[in-house]
Chains A and B, each alone.
Chain A
Amino acid sequence: MADKVDVVVVGSGAAGSVFAATMAEGGRRVLVLEGGKSRTLDDLYSSQIWARRLKWGAPTVEEAGKHPVWYNFNAGHGYGGAAMHHYGVWPRYHPEDMRSHTLYGRALDWPFEYDVLRPYYDQVQEDVGISGDAEAEIWRPPGAPYPLPPIWVNEHGQTFAKGFEAMGLHTSPIPIAVLSRAYKGRPACISDGWCDAGCPTGALANPLAVYIPRAVAAGAVLQAESQVTRVVMNKRGDRAIGVEYYAQDGTRHVQEAETVVLAAFTVENPRILLNSADSNAPSGLANSSGLVGRYLLSHAAVMVYGMFPQVTNSFFGTTGGQLFNQDGYDKHSDEGAYGSRQWEIGLATKPNDLLGIAMSRPDIYGDALHKFMHDGARHIGSMVGVCEDQPNFDNRVELSSTKDRFGMPQARTVYQYSDDALKLWEISAQEGVAITKAAGATDAWHGPLGGQHIMGGTIMGLDPARSVVNQFSQTHDVGNLFIGGGGVFPTSSCVNSTFTLHATSLMSAQHLRDHWSAIAT
């Protein structure tokens, strides 16, 4: 058994790295256990093929229900987690996203209002350097202006902007955690479009570029290939005393800690909690509400493409896009569907992989595919519509009857989009094609229903009977056990989750840091 630490953080992704940096800089002994491999920025390479190593691969997550959440595509493994291949699109949740039930009688409320989270958003954007134009982003909730000007908009974004304008819709520079200028020792983006292959220059705010270096500089220790299987509890079952993990060679270890932070992504956190069931918590740890794994959330996403007569040079830019639109954000802006939706416009597009040129038209093959690839190389354009889904008790993470190589049950997800989300998706698909045609495309089309971002499963709330964690992501049942990440979100909004999970994690970590004596002892 290794020496006892103050904080053991399970997972080295976006949430885990924020917890690790905050607690280590606060003088605490921090150990981060990562199930995947060690990785540095030098290990990244610009290739869509190579980048598949950054995605989830094992242990298998079984997906059931009508709609998959595309776990392997959305999740990550190894230092940096899913944020190593995320695109850095960082809009904020809107105030109404956190009061849906109060305002509209729909969905769930968060345990705090937007103004509570606002300073943490501001702090995170100052830490990482977000590029954007707060004034042009007319839908943006209150907050400090972005520290950096917008990223470069080339022919790709300019072309789509004309389509939005022709449709009477507004565009703004995209709010993105990619540096438009050098910032805090990190270089500006070179617009090479390899964001989801990791970004070894450090221009994109993945964990290896910002919070992990801070954590390590403050003394935090990262340990790779250590798969946590259980939270170890005291005999009374009211305090966590550490975690059980397995090394790659199959040896079992117990790491003692004063506090435990589960930040192993939305699906792995419930898996660990459910697998930590014991005589004190027979249905799973921190599960007195019966809600561990419940209210899993995802976004219904639609890719829209156009082939333009003019050059778009879409191989340049940032994978997350160049421009942004939230004209459809109002929960009731679309007839027949409740919820928000947004557009990320002008996505950097490479020839291959799931979001590449070839897969935009999977029906084409043979010599026609060669022609399509050559046409698309400089003339294709794309954007993605992202639609809110509604929290549903039946959407869940549960344990499979199949076990991984360490004897731990695999995770199984069950998911089905709400009728509202599917309607929003249809509206987005039609609107997107119309915008693309209005932008001058000779051909415009949309892709199938896709899942983007995964949230919920360990939702926060004030009532212990209706939530797993409190407003500080501290489990109601076990005071020294915290959850980090988008799993604590009770609603999905339609915005990319990474900025908000940074903010909630920072708020939680600072609460833990500032109330250490009361929580840890």
Chain B
Amino acid sequence: MTLDDINRRKFVRNTGLGVLAFNTGGIPTLLTPQQAYAQSVKFSHLAQADAALLAAFADHLLPGAAANGIAHFVDHQLGVDAQECLLMCKYFPAIRAPFDVFYQTGLAALRQAVKAQYDGVFEALSAAEKDALTESLWRGQVDKWLGPPPPLFYMMVRSDAVDVVYGTKDGFDALNIPYMAHILPQEKW
């Protein structure tokens, strides 16, 4: 299905359910971030290495985030203007549009910090090492950090992870709570 085949209301409805328009070979195609991940849709804004690091870090913060397509979700939203953007970072006074700067500098700082502390890459760290690094990010006590405030970066990636894992109807189902989308009235007023 392409965007030409759907009306705006349906698009909005699908967006609410976690479906976004991804560029697949030049054709906008409606996919969930999870589907985009499974189909290895090419990233438009994040470098491949940044996307991989984002997915790995998010998956440590909330296991399942990678397979639920966090990197594709963030990548898609970085291509949307600030008003339409669906990333929670838009709320935060310390994070100004364009938001790709926040993610790129945060990921670069994370990569650099891992290199400085462990002489390696995040993906190869042990679980204990990832925990130690995560704790230091949350406490804002990470050495060699040259990005946005570490706790802020941690919280935003964690929020994105929660969005893709628990923020859609599938996520509510996983928590065994009803999604309860609005029931449209039978009559307009």
Q: Measuring CB to CB, which residues of chain A are less than 8 angstroms from any residue of chain B?
A: 36-37, 42-50, 52-53, 55-58, 60, 62-63, 68, 70-73, 77, 185-187, 190, 192-194, 199-202, 209, 213, 315-316, 351-354, 356, 358-359, 362-363, 365-367, 369-370, 373-374, 377-378
CB contacts (< 8 Å) of B61 on chain A: these are: 365-366, 369
On chain B, the residues within 8 Å of A367 by CB distance are: 63
Report whether A351 and B97 are in contact in the complex, using a CB–CB cutoff of 8 Å. Answer: no
- Contacts A43-B12, A57-B85; A366 near B131 (Cβ below 8 A): yes
B93 touches A68 (CB 8 A): yes
A interface, over-half SS = loop
Q: How far is the CA of A314 from the CA of B86 in the complex (A)?
A: 24
- Would A354 and B91 count as touching, CB distance under 8 A? yes
B134 touches A201 (CB 8 A): no
A352, B171: Cα distance in complex, Å: 10
Apart from the given pairs A367-B63, A373-B162, 13 other A-B contacts in the complex at a CB distance below 8 Å: A42-B9, A45-B12, A46-B16, A50-B16, A52-B87, A187-B185, A190-B180, A190-B183, A194-B181, A200-B184, A351-B177, A352-B163, A353-B88
How distant is the Cα of A201 from the Cα of B81 in the complex, in angstroms?
28
Contact among A49, A186, A359 for B189, CB-based, below 8 A = A186
Chain B residue with the shortest CB-CB distance to A48: B167
B91–A70 CB distance below 8 A = yes
Contact of B180 with A194 in the complex, beta carbons under 8 Å: yes
With an 8 Å Cβ cutoff, the count of chain B residues facing the other chain is: 54
With A58-B82, A63-B93, A358-B158: A377-B176 Cβ-Cβ less than 8 Å: yes
Shortest Cβ gap from B172 to chain A (Å): 7
| A199: nearest chain-B partner, CB-CB | B182
Asked if residues B83 and A77 are in contact (CB atoms below 8 Å), the reply is yes
Binding site for A on B (CB under 8 A): 8-9, 12-13, 15-18, 60-64, 81-88, 90-94, 96-97, 131, 134, 138, 154-155, 158-159, 162-163, 166-168, 171-172, 175-185, 189
Q: Can you list 9 pairs linking A and B with CB atoms under 8 Å apart?
A: A56-B83, A57-B84, A58-B97, A352-B163, A358-B159, A359-B162, A365-B60, A366-B131, A374-B175
CA distance A354 to B64 in the complex (A): 21
Inter-subunit contact A201/B97 (CB<8 Å): no
Complex-state Cα separation, A37 to B83, whole angstroms: 10
A50 to B17, CA, bound (A): 9
Please give me the residue from chain B that is nearest to A192 by CB atom: B180
